[in-house]
Amino acid sequence: MGLDTRAADTGVSFNPSQQESWVTTRLDFLVNWGRANSLWPMPFGTACCAIEFMATAASKFDLARFGMERMSFSPRQADVLICAGRVPFKLAPVIRRIWQQMPQPKWSIAMGACASTGNGIFDNYAVVQGIDTIIPVDVYVPGCPPRPEALMYGIMMLQKKIMNERMADRSLRHEMEPDPTSKLYIPPALIDEMSENFGNSVHQTRSGL
């Protein structure tokens, strides 16, 4: 996939049914450019990935180049929640509350294998298997911990995602709460049935000799 240098400028577009004008398109570009290049991260750092995040912010890799030097530890002033580290169940309501406290526009990066999927080594009673079960995630950065370059690549992917947004698309800024009337809604009982342990993964003790 790679990264394009910048989003394609769509130029003038006029669609009578949606009443778009070329002004909107240009404003999109301006707004997205501003948003992408001044993302204020909220480092929700829990474990080892937080140290690599700090290393990314330090002088050798330097997040200030991305406009991200101003770490906002208050969610009210943050744009992107970078969840760096494993999230146990006790911390789950906290990260959810922090996400809810962040004002739109907001994005989130799951940094590290633990935040992305729970990291196979932490598949146990205490760890949330991926924060996308709790908050919506835009970019997943794999690694344990990801190298600073990997995190920066993830940030650049997020920037590309932001550059491709359109202000006319309001659904991007909706708070995603479960909506029972939506066709995508799955009732809890069915979720339980689908998420039961299956296969050999239940039996962790091979060769208990």
Partner 1 sequence: MSEPSFLPVLAGHANAGDAPAPTTPKKVPHQGGAVNPGAAALEARFPGAVHRVDVVWGETTVIVAREQLADIVRWLHDDPSQRYDYCSDITAVEFRDMERPIEVVWHLRSIPFRRFIRLKVLLTKGEPLVVPSVYGVYRGADWLERECYDMFGIRFEGHPDLRRLLMWEQYKEGFPLRKDFPLRGRFSRSEQLRQILAQNPEAKYSMEELSVIDAFEDLPPDMRQRLGKGEQVGE
Partner 2 sequence: MATTKRTVEVELSTTGLDASGRPQRVPLVTDAAGNLVPVTAAPPVEPDLEGDHMLINIGPQHPATHGVLRLVLELDGETVVRCIPHIGYLHCGFEKTGEYRQYNQIIPYTDREDYLNSPGNNVAFALGAERLFGIEITERCTVLRVIAAELSRIISHCVWLGTFCIDIGAFTPFLWIFQQRERVYTMLENWVGARLTTTVTRVGGMAADIPDGWTEDLANFVRTFPKVLGECEAMLSKNAIWVGRTIGLGAMTADEAVNYGLSGPLLRASGVAYDVRKDFPYLDYETYDFDVAVGATGDVYDRYLVRVEEMKQSIRILDQALKRLPDGPVNVADHRVILPPKSKATSDMESMIHHFKQVMEGPRPPIGEAYVAVESPKGEKGYYMVSDGTSKPVRWRIRPPSFVNLSAIPKMVEGHLLSDVIAINASIDIVMGEIDR
According to the binding rule CB under 8 A, does residue 199 interact with partner 2?
A: no
* Sequence-separated (6 or more) residues with CB below 8 Å from residue 174: none
CB of 87 to partner 1, least distance (A): 11
Pick one of 26, 147, 161, 166: the residue that binds partner 2 (CB under 8 A).
Answer: 147
Handedness of CA 32, 34, 37, 38 (dihedral sign): negative
Reply yes or no: is the peptide bond before residue 145 cis, omega within 30 of 0: yes
Pick one of 24, 29, 71, 166: the residue that binds partner 2 (CB under 8 A).
Answer: 71
Binding mask 180-209 for partner 1 (x = CB under 8 A): --------x--xx--xxx----x-x---x-
Q: Which is nearer to partner 1, 6 or 96 (CB)?
A: 96
According to the binding rule CB under 8 A, does residue 119 interact with partner 1?
A: no
Please report, for residues 32, 78, 201, the alpha-carbon distance to residue 27 in angstroms, rounded to integers and kept in the order given: 8, 22, 51
Burial 63-97 (b: 16+ CB within 10 A, else e): beebbbeebbeebeebbbbbbbbbbbeebbeebee
The region of 4-12, 35-43, 94-102, 143-151 touching partner 1 under the rule CB under 8 A is 94-102
Residues in contact with partner 2, total (CB under 8 A)?
Answer: 42
According to the binding rule CB under 8 A, does residue 150 interact with partner 2?
A: no
Pick one of 124, 172, 174, 179: the residue that binds partner 1 (CB under 8 A).
Answer: 124
The torsion of the CA quartet 60, 65, 70, 74, rounded to 10 degrees, works out to -100
CB of 3 to partner 2, least distance (A): 24
Alpha carbon 15 to its chain centroid, in Å, reads 32
Quote the CA–CA distance of 121 and 207 in Å, as a whole number.
Answer: 19
Contact 79, 107 (CB under 8 A): yes
**Footprint of partner 2 on 81-120 (CB under 8 A):** 85-86, 88, 90-91, 94-95, 98, 101
Q: Which is nearer to partner 1, 55 or 92 (CB)?
A: 92
Quote the CA–CA distance of 108 and 85 in Å, as a whole number.
Answer: 13
According to the binding rule CB under 8 A, does residue 17 interact with partner 2?
A: no
The SS3 of residue 43 is strand
According to the binding rule CB under 8 A, does residue 133 interact with partner 1?
A: yes
Q: List contacts with partner 2 (CB under 8 A).
A: 44-48, 50-52, 54-55, 58-60, 71, 73-76, 85-86, 88, 90-91, 94-95, 98, 101, 121-122, 124-127, 144-145, 147, 204-209
